[in-house]
Structures are given as structure tokens and as C-alpha cells.
Structure 1
Amino acid sequence: MKLTWQCMFSPRLYKIYRDGNREAMYQPQGLEKWGDRVITTANTILNIGIYTSPFICMYIYKRGFFSIEETRNLARFFGGIGCLIAFSFLMRGFGRATNPKYVAFYKALTNTVADQRVYLNNIRKYDFDFRSWPVTYSVPPKLSSSWFDKHPFSNCANVNLPLYQRTTIQVLAYAATHTFGLRLIYPGSVGLVQNLLWSALFQGRAQLVEQFEGKRTKVGTADGNHIDTMFVDNRETSVKGKTLVICCEGNSGFYEIGIMTTPVKAGYSALGWNHPGFAGSTGLPYPEQEHNAIDAVMQYAINELGFKPENIVLFGWSIGGYAAAWAALNYPVKGLVLDATFDDLLPLAENQMPKSWALLVKEVVRSYVDLNIAELVAQYTGPIQLVRRTEDEIICLRQGLLSTNRGNHLLLRLIAARHPDVVTEAAEETTVAPLDKYVSLMDSQRAALERSEVDANDKRNLQLIGRYMRDYKSSHCTPLPEQVFDSVMTNLTSNKLN
């Protein structure tokens, strides 16, 4: 009976690794199956009811269900539902307590007196509700700033507006950001999107564990969030495995189905993590929470996994370039690779939203989600490589027009920071224009120009572009082949980039 009681509220088990084929899930049997089905259905209905509660209350009011007699009937109805759910919990607990496979999982999860390494190896044999996964590494907490430091009027992007307009836009920006704005920027934080991708995430996680010996860990951040991470260790199987590639995913990317397999297949060790609010990670992907998340991941890699900063490469794809660039700026890492990354969120946001919303969009981005990657890259002085997708449909302001790719602006900002002599006041008109024109060309076109008879300044500009950026013919979301990534890593560590 004690075990039945404990199993009533124990975590849901999804898979026992290497027990059947990769797609096979743990299958509840008998009473556990039916109890779990009722509880899951009730939970789904409850979530729908919460989101539609205003309409339900209006319906109840119009039908007169607030009378004493109808209230009694509703109480009897919900009381019956409550008894059914309670009985379902009892059935599920009894079913789990009589299932040897679930009992073995539960004992492994609750046997915390064992050596931590042995304990983690035991629970990593299972895939289960990540909310019940123990925090095995965390960074010291830090004091959070008060509301008065972050109130809706603490920042303003439209300082030239009259006070009444400025105040109105600030209030609207606060409301928009905390309702739908952040979700539009990071669709992967939306629960519906995660539910639709659940099967793909489950299979991707199984591949990382069963095929690549991935190790899952819950990492605690300084602001109290929990970050879902996956580590693949190739130090014993490949010379390249001595280098750890920390992968920072896009706005709808997860380590289970994102860029992590590229460095793994290329022979490098890799550490993937999910943004705050994505899949098993808690919180929301505001810039400050992103900083704390990648900072915790970096400290986990250094202090727990044993990688020195000079053996770590930050690999950011799309919007993940923000976290990657921030970490590269704050840690003496081996290098930074940015794939399909833009320079600044604001131009992309303005391009997608109605022009009449321009002031509101600017306020939202600059005050709450200011992902200015170019500013971070300009301050970073270590080895860096940019990968530009020639058919990118996401970060081009005009689809199919390479000259509007915001990665071009990221490269120009990088060159201006590292080679200020290229852009001088005296030669601004004669030097900047050709550099901007050459950036809009593809690799093959620039190579042909470099072989032709061009003057020394133009040849230098062409060489600078080729030093920091390479093209890959694909759309935004196409996975980067491991051969291309390996070539980028070779360029990153070559002497000419240091």
C-alpha cells in the first residue's frame, strides 16, 4: 500500500532506453493505462477550461447556472468528476506498483543515498517527466533587481516623443511583450508548439542517448531557472573530441532536433541546452534569463565536465547567436561560430510588422528584447567564423535577395571593429561602398573577382570578407552538414584568424 501511494504521484515514465527499438515508448499496462488515460484527459480539459474560462463564465451566467439549485447540480457533477479522478490516481498507483519495470525505475529515482555518479547513471537509463529530474549542478544564486529597477517606465526607446505618447507606448510595449510579443520572437516557448513537436523531441532525445551515449542533466541558473542539457563526450573516441562545442539553438530550436548532431557527427564533444521556457527548461527567454542560462551552461562545462575555456567553441544558429556571442565575450573561449545569424533583431521585427506599429515594435525590442548581436560581436576579439545561407528566407528583408541578408551587416560591423583602418573618415566614400558591394556577392563571385585585376584595396576587402565569412547554399533551417562544420572549425583555429 505504501508503494501504491508513492506511485500515485510519481513522475510519468516515457521510455526505458535500450529496451526495444528507438521509437518504442514505455507502455502502461492494465490499471495504470486506464488511470493514466483518465488523468491525462482531465488535465487537458482543465487546461482548455482555464484558457476559455471567461467564455465559460459568460455562458454559465446567461444560462442562469448561478442559482442555488443549479449550483448544487454543478457541485454534484464536479464532485463526481473529482471522485473519478481520485479513483484514477489510485488505479494508476496500483498499476505502477505491480509493474516490475516501473518499480525498478521508481527505486532508481528515489535511491538518492547512492554515489552521485552511480545515481545519475541509473536514472539516465530512463526518459521521464523532466520536472522530477534532480538538479545535479547549479550556480550560486544572485540577487534579482527590484520591480522599481525594471518597471515599464525605466527604459524608453522613443525619447523624442511627447510625454503622453511616450508613456502610452511604454505601457503598450510592456503589455505586448509579456503577452504575445516574446512568444512571437521565440515560438519554441509556446506550449502548443512544444506539444506538436513532442514526438520529434522524444525521438531526437532517444537518438542522442542510444546512438551517441548522450548524458542528460538539469542545470540550475543564478536566477532560479532549470535548464535542460544534453552532453555527448567524444574525448575518448576522437582527437577532435577534446574540443567541446556548446550549441545555442534558434527561436524554435531544441537540442533534440537542432544543431547538436552536426558537431557530434563531425567527431567533437557537444553540449546542447534548451532556452528558458523551451521543453524541459523553466523560465522565459528574456535576454537576462538567456544570459543566466548560458552562463550556467558554461560553468557546468568548465567545472563539472572538465573542459578548459580555451577548448570550448560557441556554436550559435540564428537567434541562438545572441547567447553564443554573449558567452564568447564573457569567457576566454577557443572561438565563436555563428550560422545564419543576424546583426540586430529590430530591422527584422520592423520588416515583419505593420509600418503603423513601428514605434511600438521599437519600444518592445529596445526595452525588453534587445538582441543586438552585432554589438557583442564588435567587442569580441577572439577567433570567429560566420556562415551565411545564400537562400535564407528568414533573415533576408526581401526573400531571395542576398544583399538584404542581415548577416551582411553583422560581417560589416565585425570588420569595422577589427580593421578600423579599412573604414576611415578620409576614405569613407571610396572604401565602404566597395566593401558593402562585395559582401552582397557570393563566395564564387568574390573568388573570381580576386583572381581578376583589381586594385590592392579591393583585393584586401575581398580577402577580409573571405577570412570571416563563408557561404553555404541552403535555406535557413537546413541542417549544416558535418563536413561543412568541420571545414569551418579548421578555418576558425588556423593562424590567419588569430
Structure 2
Amino acid sequence: MSFLNYIFGPKLYMEYKGVPEPQRKIYEPGAVEKFGEQILSTLSVVWSVSYYTSPLIFTFLYRRGYFAADSIPTLAKFTTSVGLIVIISLFMRGVGRRQSRTYTNMINALMLAKTNKSTDALRRFDIDFAAWPVDFDVKTLAGDAKKPINTASSCEDWSLATLPYELIAYVAIHTFGLSMIYPGSVKLIQKFMAPALISGRAKLIEDDNGIRYKVKTIDSNEIDTLFIDNRNDNVGNGKTLVICSEGNAGFYEVGIMGTPIALKYSVLGWNHPGFAGSTGQPKPDQDKNAIDAVVLFAHNHLGFAIEDIILYGWSIGGYSTLFAASLYPEVKGVVLDATFDDLLYLALPRMPISLGGIVRVAIRKYCNLNNAELSMKYHGPIFLIRRTEDEVIAEDNRIDTNRGNYLTLSVLKYRFPNLFSSTQLTRAKGLLSKPLESYSYPIAEEKLCMSRLITFASDEGKSYPMLIGADYNEETRSQMAIFLLRKHLRDYNSTHCTQLPGEFFSIPWDIPIEHGFVFT
């Protein structure tokens, strides 16, 4: 085997031993490998810091005269010294790895996976995911019929009157803006979280028999996914697959998968483009292609019917979830936890008023995460969870400013326009301005509301907007509106980032249709 395979091979984190259940064993590099790796890691961190502070660094060097002609030899000498350190460190890393039997076994398994496409032996190891072979490629399924989703604005959309705003907005989003919206894509944060991600992934593999897969999107990004298969559990929910979409600093390793796993669903987690093992950037078009690929992988590779899939999104992951639902409206349902209506109205209060115009252009043109608008493209069952102490999508923890309120009312107003006229919307806003108290409907009242819905849906069809209520009086409309609000939304007394207890996760409620059905 070539020595270069050891020098440039992937980093090894973990080895799993034992049959049938794996036993975790953290890979401990030898002294030579460890020394070389530490130098390379330090240089990598310095490079990352330099990248984000490059304007300050270049300004400092320019003022000190380092770009003058007589300073070029000094810079060249410095660059040569750094290059020599890198070469020596790479050589030491290669020597140390070659002396390790565990690393040699991993390299052999990796070469085997690349030659015959079998990853069975490689699954004994947790490695840098960039080296992992692709398990599912959307292009092999879709061919030329499916094209990458592209929502980016072009220069042709720019107008002369707003050109300064357009240019500043473009530069802002493509430099620091996207990192502010998706801090989980920042490599320094990922380096800091690496131990927790490795440990969390190992727990999913070791305790829940998770299997890691690499999914390649239509735009050639490689998405890091992990699948928990509970279909053999005949007494649980394993026949239903929950696809989990994480927040803007969330990773499946330490994210929302734990809730449906505890309820014995089959679960598929994935990381946004640019997060951990996923390549690319979390731009809207790349994120859309990613969730599309994940659903296609679940259906075509894992063998789940679309009708047996629940899409579960937390925080900004609600956008990925709703987009997938718009592509695959026959899914079993959508669960949105701590999700907002429109990114613009979260961004504006957090920026100086003087920059409001630039923020508006930047969001609308390059990162228009408008969940309220997107929710109108999905007509299936939907369930929303609001965090009453949310400090992220509410201002100063005030529940009346929680953007989940606006998303909930947008969904209900679109789906039942006659039941949510101005009077009912005002009353619903009043209820949402404080935590919803637990309420048990009188049986007769619940039966009456359900009877009206079932009768209308059975006669007129269950499509949205549903025009039920045009002939109701205000009291009946209000009764129906509050009933629907409580069927679609539940409060959880918590802050934004705590794990959702299993009791709050359920298959979304839907209007049953039974022709000729009458309540008794």
C-alpha cells in the first residue's frame, strides 16, 4: 500500500468492536502521528482565524509596509518556512499511522469500499466523512430529467436605483451574512464541537444501531446522514420514518433525533450543507437540493413509502421540512418545533435600523426563508409546537412576539379563511399572547366541531383553502377557530434549545373523511 495513503488518509476517530453489538474504542494515535497531527491542526486553526480576520490582517500588514518591494524576500522566507513545517508534519503523520495496526485496518477497509462498493468492513470505523464512499447518488436515479434547484438572484434582477443596496447586500450575504444565519457552518465552531459530535454519533451507532450513509445531491454536494431502522419492532412505530431537519447550529449527532428514537420510530437525520460531514454551503438552493436528496434516499434506497414519512423540523430546519413537504405532499405529516414565519422579521430587530434596507434586500434576494409562504404549498396534516420561554424567535422572551404565533395564524388563515376572519384572528392573537392552558373539550362540543369538518370535507373535498364557515355566525366561527387552533398548536414550557420530550411529539391531526359518517 502506498505511503501516500497514510499521509493523506482520513482522520480516524473511533473503532467499533464486538458482535452483534458494537463496542466503542476511541482511536489513540501514537506519539509520532499525534505530534504531526497537532502541528497540522494548529496551522489549520490559524488559517481559519486568518480567513475570517483577513481584512484586518491585510490592513495591518499594508500599514507596516510588508507589501513593499523590499519586504517580498522576507515574506517568501516566511512562506517557505511554513511550507517546510507542513511537509515535515505530514511525513510524521504518515510514519505514525503506518505503525498503527488499527489505522492500517481502516485503510484496507477504505480501499475495499472504494473498489467493490461494499462498506461493511468500513462501518467498523468512524472516520473523516470526506473519505467515505457515496452510498446513494440522486443523479443515478434522476438522470437528466431532474435539474438542480436554483433560487439565487442574478445581476439582471438588479435595478439602477437600488444598486448600492444590492451590491452591499450581495457582499454581506456572501461573506459573513450566511455564517450569521447558519453559525453551524463556521469551521471554528465545528472544531470546537467536534468531540461532542463524535461522541453523539458513536452513541447513535452503538446504542441505537445507527448506520451512517453518504447521499450525493443533484448539485454534487455530499450530505452526511444517519439512519435508525426500527421496522423490525412490531409493537412500536418503526414502520413510520421520521426525517429530522436541524436548526441553524444543530447537528444530527446532538440534535432532535433523540425524540422520535425514544418513541421507537425509524429515524433519518442529516446535516445541512457545510455542516460537519456535509459539503457545500447552507444556501437556500443547496439546502433544498439536500432535503430533496434525503427524501429520495429514504424512499428509493431505504424502502419507505412517501406516505409513511413524517417530516420533522426544528427552528430554521422548518424551512427544509416545509420545502420537502411541498415536493412530496403525500407525506404522512409535518411537525414543526420552535419554527418562525419569516426570517426577515427575525433579522430586522437584530440589526441597526439604518441597515434595514440592506437587510431586507439581502434576505429577500439571497436567503428568503419564508415559512408562512411556503406552508401554503403543502396541504397535508401539520402540527406546530411553540416554546413558551423561547429566547431566539421571540423578543426579550415575550411570548406575544414569538414568530411561531404568526406562522400558526398564517397556516390557519390560509386553510380556513372563513373561520379566521378579523374577529377570530383578534381572539386567537389574544390567546397566543400568553401560554395556552391545557383544555379538555366537552365531548359534545368536540363532536359538533368534528362533525362540521367531516361533513364539509366529505361533501366538498379536503383541499385548501377549505371554505367551510361562510354561512356560520360569529359565535360558531369563533368556536371552530379555537378548536382548530388547539388541534394544530401545542405549547411546551421551555426555551428554544432544549430537547423535546416524547409526549409532545405525535402524528399530526387530520380531518377524517368518511362518507355518510354521522356522530352519535
Instruction: Report the TM range for the smaller structure's normalisation.
Output: 0.7 to 0.9
Q: Do 1:314 and 1:328's aligned partners in 2 also have CA atoms closer than 8 Å?
A: yes
Moved more, 308-317 or 221-230: 221-230
TM-score, normalising length from structure 2? 0.83
CA distance in 1: counterparts of 2:8 and 2:369, whole angstroms: 41
1:127 aligned counterpart, secondary structure? strand
Q: Do 1:152 and 1:171's aligned partners in 2 also have CA atoms closer than 8 Å?
A: no
Q: Note closer, same or farther for the CA distance 1:448–1:34 as it changes in structure 2 (3 Å cut).
A: same
One-letter amino acid of the structure 2 residue matched with residue 216 of structure 1 = R
Q: How does 1:51-450 map to 2 (within 5 A)?
A: 55=57, 59=61, 62=64, 75=76, 78-112=79-113, 116=117, 119-140=118-139, 150-154=153-157, 163-164=160-161, 166-238=162-234, 239-331=236-328, 332-396=330-394, 398-423=395-420, 428-444=421-437
CA distance in 2: counterparts of 1:303 and 1:421, whole angstroms: 41
Q: Return the offset for 1:363.
A: 0.8
Gaps of 5+ in 1: 157-162
2:335 aligned counterpart, secondary structure? strand
Q: Return the offset for 1:77.
A: 5.5
Q: Do 2:149 and 2:286's aligned partners in 1 also have CA atoms closer than 8 Å?
A: no
Q: Note closer, same or farther for the CA distance 1:60–1:247 as it changes in structure 2 (3 Å cut).
A: same
Partner of 1:13: 12
Partner of 1:159: none
CA distance in 1: counterparts of 2:353 and 2:316, whole angstroms: 23
Q: Do 1:450 and 1:462's aligned partners in 2 also have CA atoms closer than 8 Å?
A: no
Q: Note closer, same or farther for the CA distance 1:171–1:446 as it changes in structure 2 (3 Å cut).
A: farther
Q: Note closer, same or farther for the CA distance 1:308–1:90 as it changes in structure 2 (3 Å cut).
A: same
Q: Return the offset for 1:210.
A: 0.8
CA distance in 2: counterparts of 1:145 and 1:245, whole angstroms: 24
Q: Return the offset for 1:213.
A: 1.0
2:396 aligned counterpart, secondary structure? coil
Q: How does 1:32-43 map to 2 (within 5 A)?
A: 32-43=33-44
Q: Note closer, same or farther for the CA distance 1:121–1:492 as it changes in structure 2 (3 Å cut).
A: farther
Percent identity reads 41
CA distance in 1: counterparts of 2:246 and 2:210, whole angstroms: 17
Q: Do 1:439 and 1:465's aligned partners in 2 also have CA atoms closer than 8 Å?
A: no
Partner of 2:478: 458
Partner of 2:493: 473
Deviations for 1:229-255, whole angstroms, at most 9, x for unmatched residues?
111111112530110000011111110
Q: Return the offset for 1:400.
A: 3.3
Alignment coverage as a number of residue pairs: 477
One-letter amino acid of the structure 1 residue matched with residue 88 of structure 2 = F
Q: Return the offset for 1:420.
A: 1.9
Q: Do 2:221 and 2:280's aligned partners in 1 also have CA atoms closer than 8 Å?
A: yes
CA distance in 1: counterparts of 2:375 and 2:504, whole angstroms: 22
Q: Do 1:139 and 1:221's aligned partners in 2 also have CA atoms closer than 8 Å?
A: yes
TM-score, normalising length from structure 1? 0.87
Q: Note closer, same or farther for the CA distance 1:75–1:189 as it changes in structure 2 (3 Å cut).
A: closer
CA distance in 2: counterparts of 1:199 and 1:66, whole angstroms: 43
CA distance in 2: counterparts of 1:444 and 1:450, whole angstroms: 18
Deviations for 1:421-450, whole angstroms, at most 9, x for unmatched residues?
214xxxx44333223323334332665999
CA distance in 1: counterparts of 2:326 and 2:149, whole angstroms: 23
Q: Note closer, same or farther for the CA distance 1:463–1:108 as it changes in structure 2 (3 Å cut).
A: same
Q: Return the offset for 1:307.
A: 0.3
Q: Note closer, same or farther for the CA distance 1:174–1:53 as it changes in structure 2 (3 Å cut).
A: closer
Q: Do 1:23 and 1:203's aligned partners in 2 also have CA atoms closer than 8 Å?
A: no
CA distance in 2: counterparts of 1:402 and 1:496, whole angstroms: 35
Q: Note closer, same or farther for the CA distance 1:412–1:11 as it changes in structure 2 (3 Å cut).
A: same
Gaps of 5+ in 2: 446-473, 515-520
CA distance in 1: counterparts of 2:116 and 2:383, whole angstroms: 42
CA distance in 2: counterparts of 1:243 and 1:386, whole angstroms: 19
Q: Note closer, same or farther for the CA distance 1:449–1:177 as it changes in structure 2 (3 Å cut).
A: farther
Q: Do 1:137 and 1:219's aligned partners in 2 also have CA atoms closer than 8 Å?
A: yes
1:282 aligned counterpart, secondary structure? coil
Q: Do 2:342 and 2:371's aligned partners in 1 also have CA atoms closer than 8 Å?
A: yes
CA distance in 2: counterparts of 1:456 and 1:150, whole angstroms: 46
Partner of 2:466: none
CA distance in 2: counterparts of 1:212 and 1:325, whole angstroms: 27
1:492 pairs with 2:489 = no
Q: Do 2:114 and 2:133's aligned partners in 1 also have CA atoms closer than 8 Å?
A: no
Q: Return the offset for 1:25.
A: 2.7
Q: Do 2:333 and 2:382's aligned partners in 1 also have CA atoms closer than 8 Å?
A: yes
Q: Note closer, same or farther for the CA distance 1:31–1:324 as it changes in structure 2 (3 Å cut).
A: same
CA distance in 2: counterparts of 1:146 and 1:417, whole angstroms: 27
Q: Note closer, same or farther for the CA distance 1:202–1:357 as it changes in structure 2 (3 Å cut).
A: same
CA distance in 2: counterparts of 1:109 and 1:155, whole angstroms: 48
One-letter amino acid of the structure 1 residue matched with residue 509 of structure 2 = L
Q: Note closer, same or farther for the CA distance 1:77–1:242 as it changes in structure 2 (3 Å cut).
A: same
One-letter amino acid of the structure 2 residue matched with residue 435 of structure 1 = A
One-letter amino acid of the structure 2 residue matched with residue 350 of structure 1 = L
Deviations for 1:333-371, whole angstroms, at most 9, x for unmatched residues?
010000111111111111211222221111111111111
1:26 pairs with 2:27 = yes
1:280 aligned counterpart, secondary structure? coil
